[in-house]
Chains A and B, each alone.
Chain A
Amino acid sequence: MRILRQLILALAMLAAALPAAYAVAPDEVLDDPVLEHRARELSAELRCMVCQNQSIDDSDAPLAKDLRILVRERLVAGDTNEQVVDFLVARYGEFVLLKPRLSVQTLVLWGLAPLALLIGMAVLYRGARKRRGTAPVAASGATRLSEDEQAELDRILTRDKQV
């Protein structure tokens, strides 16, 4: 399950535009590259609350800097990623998460696209089954021309004859 989740995540990262942008200052960077990497991953998913739609990893705001340092402090203290996130949510609320957690409130948010896909596929499947009876080569119902169009057509046809 974990692997599947990672796979989906990675595929998603491939396909979608992943903003690769960081506002980390040199003095914040941790010496341990593994911890630093985790800190960066976490930072990209946390919102700078005073900014306009930026993660704390992208933002130059002082609050974002404080949060980046806080995240690193927790990691150095030995927290897991989940513990760091829980800590921040307890402190700042769900607003801090750029990827909302699945809950009753976010059910529609997460569920809408998959549901739309399923409904769309079901509609298409039904349509295809209904059509199977009729031969696919059947000519499309000819549309009747309006008087204007008929006149235009006649005009073009006669003009071509004259040439």
Chain B
Amino acid sequence: MIIEIGHFALILAFVLSVLQSVVPVWGAVKGDRRLMAVAPPVAGMQFLLVGIAFAALMQAYMVSDFSVLNVVENSHSAKPTLYKITGVWGNHEGSLLLWVLILVLFGALVAAFGRNIPMELKAATLGVQGWVTAAFLLFMLATSNPFLRLSPAPMEGNDLNPILQDVGLAIHPPLLYVGYVGFSIVFSFAIAALILGRVDAAWARWVRPWTLLAWMFLTLGIAMGSYWAYYELGWGGYWFWDPVENASFMPWLAGTALLHSAIVMEKRGALKVWTVLLAILTFSLSLLGTFLVRSGVLTSVHAFATDPARGTFILGILVLFIGGSLALYAWRAPMLKQGGLFAPISREGALVLNNLLLTVATASVLVGTLYPLVLEVLTGEKISVGPPFFNLTFGPLMIPLLMAIPFGPFLAWKRGDLAAVGQRLYVVAGLALVAILVSAWWHGTQQILAALGVGLAVWVICGAAAEILSRARFGDVGLSTGLARLAGLPRSAWGTAFGHAGMGLTLLGIVAVSAFQEEKVLTIRPGDSVEIADYTLNFSGLAHRTGPNYVDDVGHFDILRDGRQVAVADPAKRLYTARQMPTTEAGIVTFGLSQIYVSIGEVHADGGADIRLYHKPLVTLIWIGCLVMSFGGVLSLLDRRLRVGAPKPARRKVAAAGQGGD
């Protein structure tokens, strides 16, 4: 019964989304307030209905209702409760339902909190959001319905893919989807602006916070996914340039570009037409990612859907939305007024450079991801595009981008003075040089490129700090006034600094692990010990253990430093009984920012095991950097100027305290 209510709610939501697609847009074009007023309540209602559908499916998972096909295929009565909940979105149908839930959530958020948005813009935006919702709900109801019944109901389900039985599944997809799908609202804003033929100050003011919100979640989602792969897949890598990873990375790159171009548009009224295009492209890449993952055109760890009917349907949605929006753009964009002139060397110029490099980087990831598919379809020829390709094409684009980061916030709007900025950055350059020398001295000159990488990271991190410190002007005004000035800085200035510093931290982690990691591959027997970095690991043997739905062999290592025990590691080789599928549970111990990583391979009859042992220096910075970046996003979002629905204009006094720019 509950399942039928959920099914019915989903159908009702579809009907409402069709209504929302037509009525408010018509009202916005004709200037009819009554029609426009339909949008907010309908958007709220859709969220409620899809929420009911989602709750119904979750209930079926909780009670292991095996009369529901989706539950049979992806659940098992012995599965721990947490994985029964997360199992709801650990499959094609359920994850689409989560996708749509977030889509309508964003519509409802705009309806609820967008009181300051001009009425036409709001109605048209919600209308466009309705188009996307209608398309995906139709897709679900037609090809991917999670509410199908099965008769007779089997006694037991097939269990969830063991790799997905992890807290990672509780956090990673929801975060990722909020990011991914969050860009839909920015897309809807852009299309609404094109329909109304107006990109004005209100539009600019509204796009940035929504972009920022989606971007933050996407950053966290990608970082979480990366850490999940790192500890779960058992070979210690954190980024594989897998097409599914690329599918989420491309919207992130484009979204980062959008975030920066939106600043120019908001502050200076320039780059309007380009920002609208980026908004369209960013969500198009989200849609493309959904297509790649959901259609099953890729066969990779993440793709749990393989059905050509679905693929064709999603491809249809993709072509319709991307083609349609780009056509609309080509038709309407020339009517939008450009504004805000600036010299090449200026804050705007720096942000344009950022956009150029990020867009080209996106293109390089896009071509690398799609090329093998397209080539195979066109010629039947199969090629592989893997990490070496991306390192060669994507990598070099990041170097000038990272080098330019510290300059950007120092440059004045309209026309900047590069030499003057250089002078203010010479201390930072000095610090970077010291970092290069120390690193080269420590690790030897063969690692000179790694040393340069460390220098680049220090340059980015200290550059961010320098910008904040220079705004305080401790040298001119003394300590207490300086501190007061720091406290009075606009939060968006702090946001920029944290965002950039986070990027630097991630880079530092990547460089350190790539260049300075130690690795050992060996067979170890009980009583043996092995040394890595400054640590000694004593292996005391393997124990057999039985979990709720798996059995595993757990190895036990005592980790010693200077003869004293400092930690233990218990890596395991696990077998999930329902699917007879083995997984590796790595033993990871964190020391400061570095980690020791042990994973077990082959287990021998004599109680010994093949192990892979790594010392990964500063590896945690990769993810800490992402957290810091997202924290920067939070700060920016809390800025008074951006606060959603802030009733009063920004306090002039505070803004004036920030040096010139803000």
CB within 8 Å of B: which residues of A? 7-27, 29, 44-45, 47, 52-55, 58, 60, 93-100, 105-106, 108-110, 112-113, 116-117, 120-121, 124, 128, 131, 134-138, 140-141, 143, 145-146, 148-149
Contacts and interface: CB of A to CB of B under 8 A. Distances in A.
Contacts of A143: 198, 200-201, 269, 337, 339
B441 interface: no
B118 A148 contact: yes
Contacts of A60: 601
Contacts of A138: 341
Given A16-B391, A20-B517, A26-B521, A113 B612 contact: no
Given A14-B511, A26-B521, A113-B367, A44 B396 contact: no
Given A106-B371, A131-B341, 12 more contacts: A13-B395, A14-B456, A14-B514, A15-B396, A17-B514, A20-B517, A26-B610, A105-B381, A113-B363, A116-B359, A136-B415, A137-B341
Interface string B360-380: 110110011001000100010
Contacts of A23: 235, 601, 612
B342 A136 contact: yes
Interface stretch (B14-22, B105-113, B445-453, B626-634): B445-453
Given A21-B236, A22-B612, A109-B368, A141 B339 contact: yes
Contacts of B299: 52
Contact of B449 (A14, A24, A109): A14
B391 A12 contact: yes
Contact of B237 (A7, A16, A19): A19
Contacts, number: 223
B364 A112 contact: yes
Top 9 closest pairs, chain A to chain B, by CB: A98-B386, A12-B395, A19-B237, A140-B339, A17-B239, A21-B237, A99-B388, A113-B364, A21-B235
A100 B395 contact: no
Nearest to B517: A20
User: Which of B352, B391, B523 has the most CB atoms of chain A within a 10 A radius of its CB?
Assistant: B391
A14 B521 CA distance: 24
28 contacts: A12-B396, A13-B449, A19-B238, A21-B235, A21-B236, A22-B236, A23-B601, A26-B522, A47-B384, A47-B386, A52-B299, A52-B300, A53-B300, A53-B386, A94-B383, A97-B383, A100-B384, A100-B385, A105-B383, A109-B368, A109-B371, A112-B363, A117-B357, A136-B341, A136-B414, A140-B270, A148-B120, A149-B118
A76 B340 CA distance: 65
B375 A13 contact: no
A58 B238 CA distance: 12
B343 interface: yes
Interface of B: 118-120, 198, 200-202, 235-243, 268-270, 299-301, 337, 339-344, 346, 352, 356-357, 359-361, 363-364, 367-368, 371, 375, 379, 381-399, 402, 414-415, 449-450, 452-453, 456, 507, 510-511, 513-515, 517, 519, 521-523, 601-602, 610, 612, 614, 616, 622
Nearest to A8: B396
Given A52-B299, A136-B343, A18 B397 contact: no
